[in-house]
A = this chain, B = another copy of it.
Amino acid sequence: MALSRTFRVLSLPLLALSVTASAADLPVRKSAGEIIKTSQPSDWRPLDPANTLYMELPGGRVVIELAPDFAPLAIANIKTLAKEHYYDGLAVNRSQDNYVAQWGDPNAETTPKSLGSAKAKVPGEFSVPMSNDKRFVRQKDFDGYAPQIGHSNGFPVGRDPKAKTTWLAHCYGMVGVGRDNNTDSGSGAELYAVNGHAPRHLDRNITVVGRVVAGMPLLATLPRGGETMGFYGAKEARTPIISVRLAADVPEAERSHLEVMRSEAPIYQAVIEAQRNRGGPWNKYAANYVELCNATIPVREAPKL
């Protein structure tokens, strides 16, 4: 990277006031994208149709992978709601900039739709026993919100070895269960997805059930609501939910065929390392660190057979 060296030598005397860039050039290293290209079929797993939701919006499909290790009760209730077509015809009622998009029953406070055979109250699963999670691979980086962080079966995770608990972290695209003050007041009838910088203060305060693995732009680009907390006002257009279905209940020909990189595969650790220490020529400084929510788990279309 001769040019940036030249730059440094030429510029510092003139611009000592303000320029401290380019102390040394970084070695050229494989990027995360280049490493992913070297992956083998065994580094990927298909989504499990029994734990994948399709939310159909007018603009397309949002695919949500559920994480039953972390919220078995909420997820069982959400599956009941989906099977009984509870969400169909409801709407995205909230879009708060740099926080969450939230969907459910716009008339929940006045003429609520029946929950059918689903439960109205589900105990909060804000964290679960570490023993629930057999696939945790620790990420070595420090985190301010959790004693340990890592990934489990394609989800970002915090955990506390002293309390022997584990929980899903509120990274971009993570999906959680709206609730009121009571910890059991979230039934899954109201769900949200993080659409901005990770609100990690919500970790251990609310039940997280999974993450959006495709279609996140459909939620992230929604107009922001004009009322408090980004709720839409009476006169604002809401995005209707055409349907929410479990993938297993959708004919094979209509399914999305996506694969998630196995977070327990060694290649995923290499992907994280490539993000911790990026190489030249574009990068001039390597942080030797990657924050949990920046270490995203790759998703791809399943290769055609």
A residues with a Cβ closer than 8 A to B are 1, 3-4, 7, 11, 15-22, 71-73, 97-98, 123-129, 132, 141-145, 163, 165, 171-173, 180-184, 196-201, 203-205, 216-217, 220-224, 275, 278, 281-285, 287, 289-291, 293-294
Contact = CB atoms under 8 A, between A and B. Distances in A.
SS class, residues of chain A in contact with chain B: loop
B200 A197 contact: no
A141 B222 CA distance: 33
B129 A203 contact: no
Contacts of A205: 282-285
Given A4-B183, A97-B220, A201-B275, A21 B291 contact: no
Contacts of A132: 17-18
Kindly report how many copies of this chain are found in the complex they form together: 2
10 tightest A-B CB contacts, nearest first: A144-B289, A21-B126, A21-B124, A204-B285, A217-B224, A172-B197, A181-B281, A221-B221, A18-B128, A11-B123
B126 A285 contact: yes
A293 B99 CA distance: 12
26 contacts: A3-B181, A4-B182, A7-B182, A7-B184, A11-B123, A15-B73, A17-B72, A20-B129, A21-B123, A21-B204, A22-B124, A22-B183, A97-B216, A97-B217, A97-B220, A124-B284, A126-B284, A126-B285, A197-B198, A199-B294, A200-B294, A201-B278, A201-B290, A205-B282, A205-B285, A221-B222
